[in-house]
Amino acid sequence: MQESFDYDLFVIGGGSAGVRAARMAAQRGARVALAEAAQLGGTCVNLGCIPKKLYSYAAHYGEAFEEAAGYGWQVEGHPTLDWATLKSRRAQEILRLNGIYRGLLDKAGVHILQDWAQLTDAHTVQLAGSGQQVRAHHILVATGGRPHVPDIPGRELVITSNDMFDLEPFPKRLLVVGGGYIASEFASIFQGLGAQVTQLYRGGQILRGFDAEIASFVATEMQKKGVQLRLQADITAVRRGSTGLRATLQNGEVLEADAVLYATGRVPLVQGLGLEAAGVQLNDKGAIEVDAQYRTSVPSILAAGDVTARVQLTPVALAEAMVIVDTLFGAGTRTLDYDFIPTAVFTHPSIGTVGYTEEAARERFGGDDIRVFRSEFKALRHTLSNSTERTLMKLVVQVSTDRVVGLHMVGAEAGEIVQGFAVALRAGATKAVFDSTIGIHPTAAEEFVTMRG
């Protein structure tokens, strides 16, 4: 006798992976419900990439006002930021996007439940608010991640990336703890918005995992713009003083700030989901363990996006969702290749990267089989802007095949430039192909096709 279910697919989490999977499955005729306790869109739309990029744009205007004088523009007085206006405009845009996500789900026929969902067994979900239980043939867990703050004295006084967009008042002195891309982005952005920023990182260089030369170069550029970068430094305690928060460092030094941001990593959001009750196994990172089809240790339960801690990027979560929908309701032939995934870091200047770092390429292919081409220069724009900002571009080539296996950039619009080159690397372009490609002059991007040994 065939078991009866309320839904073909029940999705827990309304972020990038959850919304995409729910919508596409419903469009294929599946009966789909999605539970989300917060706003639709997940971290990216509400507290991540979208608002962060908007604030990055805002910060760049401050630089642009300064640079305009070199081009003959007379900017009267000293431009000031109306923090309240920026926050309000951002909130309006996020609300619009929330509505678009809801509209897409409604149009596809997805039943949206604004509630916290918990697994009770392999096919059953209980809604915390209403107490209702529903049964589904398949369940997708796509709850994303959350910021992690270490347990230090004064932990309750610090903030995370979730709190940065609505800070009140604007922090004139911001202390950023962390060396990853989130910490580095917020350090750049708030420095550009007018804060005095100090960034602390316990390691020897920020942006561990990125190409070492790229990380070193962007650290230098960030410092030129005013970010005070303190390496091999960490906080032992935070307390409130009469004129601000006082952070005590390991060496006994005390730094004072109006706000202390901890951007020391994100962890999968798995608490309170009933994973143990359903028999879903976690890996050593505390993430949900999945196979190539994103099935967990319980075959009827799948997981995608940041909750699996594979590659924590929005486009990857979307791609994983498409594989899941094809597996459950399609031909089952779709797969996802995690090689040559491009990404950008919205520091000032920004980073764009795809493929192997120089270090990873030498380890993977052997040092003798790798040749590096690099170009460092002042972009044409800054010949008149009076800015000292410099651009770095780098190609990592496997000698035996002539294939370009890594491409990295620090400079204006790096993400926009690298996206196009990511297609070439996915297609297996060789250095000879790069060399035979005509550049667009005058652009920074043309440097990638004019590099010679």
Task: Look up residue 223 and give its two tokens.
Answer: 């410092």
Rounded distance, CA 72 to CA 273, Å? 59
Nearest to 392 by CA among 406, 407, 378, 410: 410
Q: How far apart are the first and last CA of the chain?
A: 70
Q: SS3 string of the chain?
A: CCCCCCEEEEEECCCHHHHHHHHHHHHCCCCEEEECCCCCCHHHHHHCHHHHHHHHHHHHHHHHHHHHHHHCCCCCCCCCCCHHHHHHHHHHHHHHHHHHHHHHHHHHCCEEECCCEEECCCCEEEECCCCCEEEEEEEEECCCEEECCCCCCCHHHCECHHHHHHCCCCCCEEEEECCCHHHHHHHHHHHHHCCEEEEEECCCCCCECECHHHHHHHHHHHHHCCCEEEECCCEEEEEEECCEEEEEECCCCEEEECEEEECCCEEECCCCCCHHHHCCCECCCCCECCCCCCECCCCCEEECHHHHCCCCCHHHHHHHHHHHHHHHHCCCCCCCCCCCCCEEECCCCCEEEEECCHHHHHHHHCHHHEEEEEEEECCCCHHHHCCCCCEEEEEEEECCCCEEEEEEEECCCHHHHHHHHHHHHHCCCEHHHHHHCCCCCCCCHHHHHCCCC
Q: Name the phi and psi angles at 300, rounded to 5.
A: -80, -10
Query: Residue 137 catalytic?
Result: no
Q: Two tokens at 99?
A: 């509505």
Pick the catalytic residue: 60, 137, 348, 441?
441
Asked if residue 143 lies in contact with residue 10, where contact means CB atoms within 8 angstroms, the answer is no
The answer to whether residues 349 and 388 touch, using CB atoms and an 8 Å cutoff, is no
Q: Active-site residue numbers?
A: 441
